[in-house]
Amino acid sequence: MKMIYCSCNISVLEQIVEILDELQIHDYQIFDQVLSRNRTADPRLNTPVWPGYNASVLMQIREEDKIKALMDKLRHFNRNAFNASEMLTACSWAIDDYIFDQS
> Mean pLDDT throughout 8-30?
97
Number of separate domains in the chain: 1
pLDDT at 37: 87
Q: What distance in Å separates the CA atoms of residue 82 and residue 78, rounded to the nearest whole number?
A: 9
Q: What distance in Å separates the CA atoms of residue 29 and residue 52, rounded to the nearest whole number?
A: 20
What order do you get walking across the sheet with 54-61 strand by strand? 28-34, 54-61, 2-9, 89-94
**CATH assignment at residue 38:** 3.30.70.120
19 is a domain residue? yes
Q: What distance in Å separates the CA atoms of residue 31 and residue 16, rounded to the nearest whole number?
A: 13
pLDDT at 101: 67
99 is a domain residue? no
101 is a domain residue? no
The pTM score is: 0.88
Question: DSSP characters for 31-70?
Answer: EEEE-B--SSS--B-SSSSS---EEEEEEEE--HHHHHHH
Q: Which domain holds residue 46?
A: 2-92
97 is a domain residue? no
54 is a domain residue? yes
102 is a domain residue? no
29 is a domain residue? yes
Tens digits of residue pLDDT in 24-76: 999 999 999 999 988 877 889 999 999 999 999 999 999 999 999 999 999 99
